[in-house]
């Protein structure tokens, strides 16, 4: 899948994907733990994602409850990866596995645990 894409596009997708999944991870952790939890992983998620959330604060609606904000911001990264990147690169949207990051991960899982 990634053979036809330029390296800058793959790198950009990996970065955007890592940000998106980190924001989703923070949302998931926040279901079980408060934001100020002493748990190491929650501290890491908060420290990594707070700068991103600050950047998106001007376009974040005020009616959203605090735990939902990381998921809302992750949605923007998903939209960029799903609609803007294919349009810029000139290929069609083919679904979740058309993302280089998720495609590589799913291929690795299939090679490792598949038949």
Q: Which tens digits make up the pLDDT trace of 47-100?
A: 999 999 999 999 999 999 999 999 999 999 988 888 777 777 766 655 544 677
pLDDT at position 20 is 94
Considering only CA atoms, which of 99, 77, 63 is closest in space to residue 26?
77
Considering only CA atoms, which of 82, 102, 110 is closest in space to residue 1?
102
More confident residue, 62 or 102: 62
Considering only CA atoms, which of 111, 96, 112 is closest in space to residue 17?
96
For the segment 36-60, what is each residue's pLDDT rounded down to a tens digit? Answer: 999 998 999 999 999 999 999 999 9
- Could you write out the three-class secondary structure of 39-50? CHHHHHHHHHHH
Distance of alpha carbon 90 from alpha carbon 83, whole angstroms: 11
Instruction: Provide the 8-state DSSP code for 89.
Output: H
């Amino acid at each position: 899948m990634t053979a036809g894409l330029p390296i800058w596009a793959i790198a950009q997708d990996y970065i955007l994907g890592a940000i998106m999944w980190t924001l989703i991870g923070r949302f998931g952790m926040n279901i079980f733990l408060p934001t100020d939890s002493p748990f190491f992983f929650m501290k890491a998620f908060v420290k990594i994602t707070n700068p991103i959330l600050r950047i998106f604060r001007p376009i974040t609606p005020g009616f959203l409850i605090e735990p939902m904000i990381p998921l809302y911001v992750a949605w923007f990264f998903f939209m960029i990866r799903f609609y803007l990147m294919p349009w810029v690169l000139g290929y069609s949207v083919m679904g979740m596995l058309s993302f280089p990051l998720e495609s590589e991960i799913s291929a690795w899982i299939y090679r490792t645990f598949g038949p």
